[in-house]
Chains A and B, each alone.
Chain A
Amino acid sequence: MANTQNTELIFGLYDDEEDLLRAVKSAKKDHLEIYDVYTPFPVHGLDEVMELEESRLHIAGFVYGAIGTLTAFLGMTWIFVKDWPTIFGGKPYWSVPAFIPITFEMTVLFAAIGMTVTFYLVSGLGPGIKNPQLDDRITDDKFCIAFDKSIVNSGDAESFFKNTGASEVNSKNI
């Protein structure tokens, strides 16, 4: 995350996600507060051992979708019943079955755009944003656990990394 204040991090790099999972578990057991974990791909089970809350994006998606449904359906209803009533092929002004395709498409459109934009906003990601990178190999083949030095003292962190089999330990100011 792009923090304006200076945070001093100590981080260890692991070569394998199994080692990472074990290390996160033991950090939880030792009550070491993890700053963040960085991985090159979504590691299965990591959110569970980190005790991350379930993402609420799907709720947001439902709300956006519902807004789309209502916008499309009520919009068409207003246009064809109130604003400019027109008879097409002898059908009633309010011909609900004919509104369904557009209502569906707008539901999907609103849900997709809304969720994607929300995802980037809440994650602090977007074009032009430069987030601090701890190590270039984190997007390749290294799995990283980072501690905030002001919360976890360096000695504890170093012995933790040593015990859990980290291949490298480094510090960085972000």
Chain B
Amino acid sequence: MSAVVSPIRKPLITGNKTYHQITEDLISPTEKTPTKAWIIGFIIAVAVATYGIFCIIWTIWVGIGSWNLNRTINWSWDITNFVWWIGIGHAGTLISAILLLFRQKWRTGVNRAAEAMTIFAVICAGLFPIIHMGRVWLAFFIMPYPNTRGPLWPNFNSPLLWDVFAISTYFTVSLLFWYTGLVPDFATVRDRAKGLRRKIYNTLSFGWTGSAKHWQRWESLSLILAGIATPLVLSVHTIVSFDFATSVIPGWHTTIFPPYFVAGAIFSGFAMVLTLMIITRKLLKLEDYITIEHIESMNKVILLTGTIVGVAYLTELFISWYSGYVYEQFAFFNRALGPYWWSYFGMMFCNVVSPQFFWKKSWRRNVTLTFFLSIVVNIGMWFERFVIIATTLARDYIPSSWSLYSPSWVEIGIYVGTMGIFFTLYLIFVRVAPVVAVAEIKHILKTGGNQYVGENAKSHTHHTNEH
């Protein structure tokens, strides 16, 4: 009755678990009193988030003049942060939807947390376009609704409005997908609980029973949501890149932007997933579920997308020279050797050079190196957006309008504050919901690794020779 491990496939989760052990391992973090590390982390996150909210209120109270934007550089940290956060969000959808369609079963260990990360990142991202409007209380003007001003409609030909639709659709679909996945797991939490906790989780689990027909519909729904989320995630960052690509600003007006932005989004998103997962697996002791194999697989994605991003940077440089268009040439000369040269080289180093470490297998499997590089990648991707947005605007067509920009304390506060908001939400999430999808892990236990050692294992050892 010993564990039969397939010689070809490595087990997706380690530690020879039974179904009950999986439930214990994955649900118990939501039942225990919070650890000291969690409490300290939560206090810091809430404090930072509070400061961020203070800076947002300050911006609304004092006005957008509390930011250091000027007439030349009218987008800077605000839109940089927006694109950065929305890019981070994309990895969650990639893991949960695209990897589901590609039948990459290893995704099961990380999809739940990655989807949660998507939702929290989109919340942070969505704050910036709303705040940067200045008069936040009129933000609903962007929605098309019959109004007493004509009715006056928004401009459906504008990529900025496409963005409104793309981001709100993306948020809604991600939320539905994530929550539908959580429903059966909330039922598992409910059935272990008593009293008030049981009532709360019964509400959260929507009265889930585990009926065969429900599971059939649930699987059908998950598959179709994955199918439509896949083109959706590609469209969202494509539309974000249209905000720039459809303008007439040299350095922005390029057809390479959509694929280049999507690759960059996946790149930074996977880096953030790794940052979070490495901390989460350590703190919640989930090393058997989020294994070194997961880290290695994600590092491969980082290597691939980082290299795509690198090729895109070089293509951009080549095309600007090859175009023979002097403004375009200047825009790139200015990016690399102008006043913000440090951000350009920061971007090149962090995004193009740093992922190349992952060609080496033992480095891909090195948790400390991965953690360090995942942060480097996210810094690099922030630089990329800053390079595209601020340095391009700083040197526009008329030299008399050239300007320089450095952020005010309010802008820095809002950016740092969104990290506080993000981590506050994430830390609440790891307390109330299973971070790893319990039902899905049980589903892949046998088909993936063939290492099931439940009491009845010997009665169906024939199973181990399939697949």
Residues of A within 8 A of B (CB): 1-2, 15-16, 18-19, 36-44, 46-47, 50, 52, 55, 57-58, 61, 65, 75-76, 79-80, 83-84, 86, 88-89, 91, 95, 98-99, 101-102, 104-106, 108-109, 111-113, 115-116, 119-120, 122-133, 136-141, 144
Contact = CB atoms under 8 A, between A and B. Distances in A.
- Residue among A50, A76, A105, A106 facing the most chain B CB atoms (10 A cut-off): A105
A174 to B, nearest CB: 10
A10 to B, nearest CB: 17
A123 B172 contact: no
Contacts of A99: 156
B207 interface: yes
A15 B455 contact: yes
B400 interface: no
A84 B176 contact: no
A122 B231 CA distance: 27
A161 to B, nearest CB: 15
Nearest to B204: A127
Given A40-B188, A79-B156, A88-B157, A46 B207 contact: no
A126 B214 CA distance: 13
- Residue among B159, B184, B204, B220 facing the most chain A CB atoms (10 A cut-off): B220
B19 A140 contact: yes
Contacts, number: 202
Nearest to B219: A42
Interface stretch (B34-42, B303-311, B421-429, B435-443): B435-443
A37 B176 contact: no
Contacts of B213: 36, 52, 123
- Sorted nearest first, the 5 A-B pairs with minimum C-beta distance are A141-B19, A129-B207, A136-B191, A98-B157, A41-B439
Contacts of B91: none
A89 B158 CA distance: 11
Contacts of B218: 42, 119
B89 to A, nearest CB: 16
Given A101-B235, A115-B221, A127-B203, A47 B216 contact: yes
A111 to B, nearest CB: 6
19 contacts: A16-B459, A16-B460, A36-B211, A38-B212, A43-B212, A57-B217, A57-B221, A98-B156, A99-B156, A102-B161, A104-B235, A105-B169, A109-B165, A112-B177, A115-B221, A126-B206, A127-B204, A132-B209, A141-B23
Interface of B: 18-20, 23, 144, 150-153, 155-159, 161-162, 165-166, 168-169, 172-173, 176-177, 180, 183-184, 187-188, 190-192, 202-204, 206-221, 224-225, 228-229, 231-232, 235, 239, 242, 439-440, 442-443, 447, 454-456, 459-460, 463
B165 A101 contact: yes
Nearest to B221: A119
Contacts of A140: 19-20, 23, 188, 191-192
Nearest to A49: B212
Contact of B232 (A15, A61, A108): A108
Contact of B173 (A19, A44, A75, A112): A112
A55 B207 contact: no
A122 B217 CA distance: 10
A42 B219 CA distance: 8
A131 B209 contact: yes
A12 to B, nearest CB: 15
A112 B153 contact: no
Given A108-B232, A116-B180, A79 B153 contact: yes
Given A15-B456, A57-B221, A95-B157, 8 more contacts: A16-B460, A40-B439, A61-B228, A83-B153, A101-B239, A112-B172, A125-B208, A140-B19
B191 A138 contact: yes
B456 A19 contact: yes
Contacts of A104: 231, 235
Nearest to B235: A104
A113 B218 CA distance: 14
A75 B154 CA distance: 12
Given A52-B216, A108-B173, A130-B207, A61 B456 contact: no
B232 A36 contact: no
Contacts of A39: 210, 212, 215
Contact of A80 (B156, B173, B191, B207): B156
B185 to A, nearest CB: 9
Given A42-B219, A84-B152, A125 B183 contact: yes
Contacts of A109: 165, 168-169, 172-173
A28 to B, nearest CB: 13
A47 B216 CA distance: 7
B157 to A, nearest CB: 4
Contacts of A18: 456, 459-460, 463
B41 to A, nearest CB: 30
A157 to B, nearest CB: 18
A139 B161 contact: no
B210 A58 contact: no
Contacts of B207: 2, 124-126, 128-131
